[in-house]
């Protein structure tokens, strides 16, 4: 297959990730470890195409026994905001930093948890409302109109997966105790039984 189908998007996503401030990324990892180590939770939230990214990362981190959850901003505004506690870290995904539902959510959650924004805008309403931020540069989304969240969601997913891997390392998690015991099914479950 002709790799040119993929290379342009790969380069755009790589450039977006290269624009991340390493020290701020390390602060994110440290804040996740602090929240989990103090008995709190990590809650990932977003709307639209960002929410499945939140779900995937939360599911991956739950599979290693960590208290990480995905909170749909729409549900949060209709009662589910009660999941957020004072020891928690709320990680917010918003490309523009102007997502109305997330602005409303942060207003309602003010003072309930620490907040960390992952965005592609260095100046926005959400930047002003969150405790910490990672703002990536994005050349293009990759679709015909440069509007559908494609490359931005891919970059967020890779960034959050890297965060999960670093948290795993910092917490010193064990393959058998912290991972395999959470996977009784499939090939992973078969390996755990060995």
- pLDDT for res 174: 64
Which domains does the chain carry? 4-192 (3.40.50.10490)
Q: pLDDT below 70 — which residues of the chain? A: 1-3, 174-194
Question: pLDDT tens for residues 41-95?
Answer: 999 999 999 999 999 999 999 988 999 999 999 888 888 888 999 999 999 999 9
Q: Are 191 and 180 in contact (CB under 8 A)?
A: yes
pTM across the whole model? 0.91
Q: Strands across the sheet with 114-119, in order?
A: 68-72, 42-46, 89-94, 114-119, 132-135
CA distance 33 to 55: 19
- pLDDT for res 139: 96
- pLDDT for res 150: 95
């Amino acid at each position: 297959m002709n790799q040119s189908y993929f290379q342009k998007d790969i380069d755009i996503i790589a450039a977006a990730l290269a624009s991340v401030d390493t020290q701020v990324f390390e602060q994110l990892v440290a804040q996740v470890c602090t929240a989990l180590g103090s008995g709190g939770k990590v809650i990932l939230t977003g709307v639209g195409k960002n929410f499945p990214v939140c779900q995937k990362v939360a599911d991956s981190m739950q599979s290693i026994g960590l208290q990480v959850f995905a909170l749909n901003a729409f549900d949060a505004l209709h009662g589910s905001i009660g999941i957020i506690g004072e020891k928690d870290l709320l990680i917010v995904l918003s490309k523009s930093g102007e997502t109305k539902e997330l602005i409303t959510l942060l207003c309602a959650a003010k003072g309930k948890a620490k907040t960390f924004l992952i965005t592609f805008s260095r100046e926005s309403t959400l930047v002003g409302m969150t405790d910490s931020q990672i703002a990536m540069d994005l050349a293009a989304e990759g679709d015909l109109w440069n509007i559908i969240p494609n490359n931005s969601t891919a970059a967020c997913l890779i960034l959050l997966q890297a965060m999960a891997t670093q948290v795993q390392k910092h917490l010193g998690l064990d393959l058998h105790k912290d991972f395999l015991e959470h996977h009784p099914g499939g090939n992973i479950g078969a390996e755990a039984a060995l």
